[in-house]
């Protein structure tokens, strides 16, 4: 155990549904906190009010809860901590770590464009203002609006990233970035570092897209006299097209996979393995097992390609092994959408249990289950053509129906015995009865073992389906 308690944070900006990349970051924070007995903090970075939305914040919390990520503190709203961000910025200004800059956004844009034309990148450093010194002085005297810029150091910044190893940024790429805009509002850098200090964050696990911000943040931590946390920058998740996974390349948010009927346990497991491995062949791993196996050393440093088929495979594993009660609770909205009622919970549970191994998603499961709740099945004439051409079949099925009306108890052993005895008496192969009975009861050519199906469907519905099917054959 490390000396100081581990404190990690997941800090999403509530600008849309929770992307699977964000969910994976949340999962690694969750795993590290669980592994080291640390604290996981949820912080909603909602300072960009134009893009943030309260409903989205709730959405993100709901998605995290659904997938099984736990947090010990928060959610803190960054927007409620503005006073602290301002306080820290003014502290830096007072200590000479930051300074006032009087250029207007238009002047900065013009300078940026001018440099671009000569093939240079605009980097703001003190003394390199596009404004003349006397212009700066007169704006200061006149009390003109100003931005507060951070004085970046002139030495390289080095750190050891848990994913990428040693990372170095040279001063040539630094610029004296803005801490407070001219309207007085703090920037993302000011807010995020202030919050990480105040929340005593020890490990920052976040997407690689933030890597270029890290030297700025490290310099800020140092100038504010705080301990620099350990960083881990996770590579991007790519779609099958090898571009950054986005809605365009298919489903990309937790919400979308949820509505496809993916189980949260499967998505958690799949995402945990998308950028990390346990060092052995294991793939199906519960959160508890993942926590046990987790170590930041096996976080991958190359981009991962999201494979929907692998996720479907993973989901199928959970569909067949998870507690039935879990499956039922996650399946409930899908069953409702498929028009399946819960009038008989035992029957519903038995049907779901019989079909769970045959479906890759909860949506597929509900589609399969719907047949088992039909009063009367509509038979597809193409699928039944073969049966309709068998002369004695209707008669044989009536005899079977008579036996099934009397069999006691109505269980799969008895049902199988009766069917085989009848086949023998009629001198036909058992299959010649089994296939049409399956069609009669489910309207499909394939499915779970037949006698399990008949037992589940029950005496009354079996009689009704057989009678309907006989009518269909004769019709």
Our finding on whether 30 is near ligand GLU (CB under 6 A) is no
Catalytic residue flag (residue 412): no
Segments in 118-231 forming alpha helices (H) = 133-141, 188-198, 214-223
CB of 25: closest distance to ligand GLU in angstroms?
7
From 5-13, 98-106, 171-179, 332-340, span contacting ligand GLU (CB under 6 A): 5-13
Our finding on whether 210 is near ligand GLU (CB under 6 A) is yes
Torsion, CA 454, CA 460, CA 466, CA 467, rounded to 10? 180
The strand order across the sheet containing 147-150 reads: 98-101, 147-150, 178-180
Our finding on whether 41 is near ligand GLU (CB under 6 A) is no
Residue choice 6, 7, 8, 13 for contact with ligand GLU (CB under 6 A): 13
Contact (Cβ atoms closer than 8 angstroms) between residue 296 and residue 285: no
348: tokens are 């519903």
Beta carbons within 8 Å of 431's beta carbon, 6+ residues apart: none
DSSP-derived 3-state class of residue 261: coil
Contact (Cβ atoms closer than 8 angstroms) between residue 261 and residue 361: yes
420: tokens are 């085989």
Our finding on whether 14 is near ligand GLU (CB under 6 A) is no
CB of 12: closest distance to ligand GLU in angstroms?
5
**Closest among 192, 182, 208, 224 to 78, alpha carbons compared:** 192
Our finding on whether 214 is near ligand GLU (CB under 6 A) is no
Beta carbons within 8 Å of 52's beta carbon, 6+ residues apart: 13, 14, 15, 44, 46, 79
The C-alpha atoms of residue 74 and residue 108 are separated, in whole angstroms, by 38
**42 or 453: CB nearest ligand GLU:** 42
CB of 221: closest distance to ligand GLU in angstroms?
12
CB of 220: closest distance to ligand GLU in angstroms?
12
CB of 45: closest distance to ligand GLU in angstroms?
4
CB of 460: closest distance to ligand GLU in angstroms?
57
**210 or 459: CB nearest ligand GLU:** 210
**74 or 458: CB nearest ligand GLU:** 74
Our finding on whether 26 is near ligand GLU (CB under 6 A) is no
Beta carbons within 8 Å of 315's beta carbon, 6+ residues apart: 261, 262, 263, 266, 267, 360, 361
Q: How far apart are the first and last CA of the chain?
A: 76
Residue choice 139, 206, 396, 465 for contact with ligand GLU (CB under 6 A): 206
Q: Given the DSSP bridges, would you call strands 178-180 and 165-169 parallel, antiparallel or unpaired?
A: unpaired
Our finding on whether 194 is near ligand GLU (CB under 6 A) is no
Rounded to the nearest 5°, which phi and psi values hold at 160? -105, 115
Distances (CA, A) of 17 to 13, 247, 251: 10, 11, 11
Q: Check 35, 216, 247, 360 and give the catalytic one.
A: 247
Question: What residue has token string 């793939």?
Answer: 283
**13 or 230: CB nearest ligand GLU:** 13
**23 or 423: CB nearest ligand GLU:** 23
The C-alpha atoms of residue 356 and residue 319 are separated, in whole angstroms, by 6
Segments in 160-208 forming alpha helices (H) = 188-198
CB of 203: closest distance to ligand GLU in angstroms?
11
Our finding on whether 45 is near ligand GLU (CB under 6 A) is yes
From 9-17, 50-58, 135-143, 373-381, span contacting ligand GLU (CB under 6 A): 9-17
Q: Provide the mask over 79-108, with x wherever binding to ligand GLU is found by CB under 6 A and - wherever it is not.
A: ------------------------------
CB of 192: closest distance to ligand GLU in angstroms?
5
Handedness of CA 456, 462, 464, 470 (dihedral sign): positive
**203 or 206: CB nearest ligand GLU:** 206
CB of 229: closest distance to ligand GLU in angstroms?
10
Residue choice 6, 8, 11, 60 for contact with ligand GLU (CB under 6 A): 11
Residue choice 6, 7, 12, 89 for contact with ligand GLU (CB under 6 A): 12
Residue choice 192, 304, 352, 401 for contact with ligand GLU (CB under 6 A): 192
* Element spanning 233, H or E: strand 230-234
Our finding on whether 229 is near ligand GLU (CB under 6 A) is no
**201 or 365: CB nearest ligand GLU:** 201
**207 or 333: CB nearest ligand GLU:** 207
> CA neighbours within 13 Å on the CB side: how many for 44?
24
CA-based radius of gyration for the chain? 32
Our finding on whether 366 is near ligand GLU (CB under 6 A) is no
Q: Which residues bind ligand GLU (CB under 6 A)?
A: 11-13, 45, 192, 204, 206, 210
Active site residues per annotation: 247
């Amino acid at each position: 155990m490390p000396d100081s308690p581990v404190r990690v944070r997941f800090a999403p900006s509530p600008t849309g549904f929770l992307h699977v990349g964000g969910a994976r970051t949340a999962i690694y924070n969750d795993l590290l906190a669980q592994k080291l007995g640390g604290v996981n903090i949820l912080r909603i970075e909602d300072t960009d009010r134009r893009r943030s939305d309260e409903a989205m914040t709730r959405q993100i919390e709901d998605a995290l809860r659904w997938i099984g990520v736990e947090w010990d503190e928060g959610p803190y709203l960054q927007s409620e901590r503005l006073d602290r961000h301002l306080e820290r910025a003014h502290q830096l200004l007072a200590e000479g770590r930051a300074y006032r800059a009087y250029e207007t956004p238009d002047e900065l844009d013009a300078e940026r464009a001018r440099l671009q034309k000569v093939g240079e990148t605009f980097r703001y450093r003190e003394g390199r203002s596009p404004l003349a010194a006397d212009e700066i002085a007169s704006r200061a005297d006149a009390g003109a609006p100003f931005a507060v810029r951070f004085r970046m150091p002139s030495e390289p910044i080095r750190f050891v990233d848990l994913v990428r190893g040693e990372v170095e940024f040279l001063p040539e790429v630094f610029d004296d970035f803005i801490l407070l805009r001219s309207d007085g509002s703090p920037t993302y850098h000011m807010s995020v570092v202030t919050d990480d200090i105040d929340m005593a964050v020890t490990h920052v696990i976040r997407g690689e897209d933030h890597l270029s911000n890290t030297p700025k943040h490290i310099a800020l931590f140092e100038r504010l006299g705080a301990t620099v946390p350990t960083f881990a920058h996770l590579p991007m998740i790519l779609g099958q097209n090898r571009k950054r996974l986005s809605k365009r390349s298919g489903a990309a948010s937790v919400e979308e996979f949820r509505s496809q009927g993916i189980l949260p346990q499967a998505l958690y497991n799949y995402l945990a393995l998308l950028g990390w491995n346990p060092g052995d062949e294991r793939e199906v791993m519960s959160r508890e097992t993942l926590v046990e196996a987790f170590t930041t050393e096996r976080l991958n440093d190359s981009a991962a390609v999201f494979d929907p088929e692998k996720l479907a495979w993973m989901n199928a594993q959970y569909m067949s092994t998870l507690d039935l009660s879990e499956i039922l609770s996650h399946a409930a909205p899908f069953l409702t959408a498929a028009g399946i009622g819960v009038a008989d919970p035992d029957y519903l549970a038995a049907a779901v249990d019989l079909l769970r191994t045959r479906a890759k998603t909860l949506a597929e499961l509900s589609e399969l289950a719907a047949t088992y709740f039909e009063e009367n099945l509509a038979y597809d004439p193409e699928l039944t053509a073969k049966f309709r051409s068998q002369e004695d079949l209707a008669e044989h099925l009536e005899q079977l129906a008579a036996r099934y009306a009397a069999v006691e108890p109505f269980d799969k052993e008895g049902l199988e015995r009766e069917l085989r005895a009848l086949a023998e008496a009629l001198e036909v192969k058992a299959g010649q009865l089994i296939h049409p009975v399956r069609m009669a009861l489910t309207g499909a050519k394939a499915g779970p073992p037949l006698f399990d199906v008949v037992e589940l469907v029950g005496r009354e519905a079996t009689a009704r389906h057989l009678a309907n099917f006989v009518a269909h054959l004769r019709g």
